Amino acid sequence: MTAAVAIDDVHYSYPDGTTALVGVSLTVQPGERIAVLGPNGAGKTTLMLQLNGLLRPTSGRVRIAGAEVDDDTVNAIRGRVGLVFQDPDDQLFMPTVRADVAFGPSNQGLSDDVVASRVEQALAVVSMTEAADRPPHHLSLGQRRRVAVATVLSMNPDVLVLDEPSSNLDPTSRREIAELVLELNRTTVMVTHDLPYALQLCPRSVILSAGRIVADGPTRDLLADSELLARHRLELPYGFDPLRTTA
CATH number at residue 146: 3.40.50.300
Any domain includes 210: yes
pLDDT digits (tens, 9 = 90+) for 61-96: 999 999 999 999 998 999 899 999 999 999 999 999
Q: Which domain holds residue 199?
A: 5-231
Amino acid 109: pLDDT: 86
Residues 6+ apart with CB under 8 A from 240: 195, 196
- Nearest Cα to Cα of residue 61 among 3, 138, 117, 111: 3
Any domain includes 240: no
Amino acid 163: pLDDT: 94
The residues of the chain scoring below 50 in pLDDT are none
Amino acid 46: pLDDT: 95
Q: What is the Cα–Cα distance from 237 to 29, expressed in whole angstroms?
A: 30
Amino acid 247: pLDDT: 64
CB atoms within 10 A of CB 224: 15
Any domain includes 239: no
Amino acid 48: pLDDT: 94
Give the total number of structural domains in the chain.
Answer: 1
- Find how far residue 210's CA is from the centre of its chain: 20
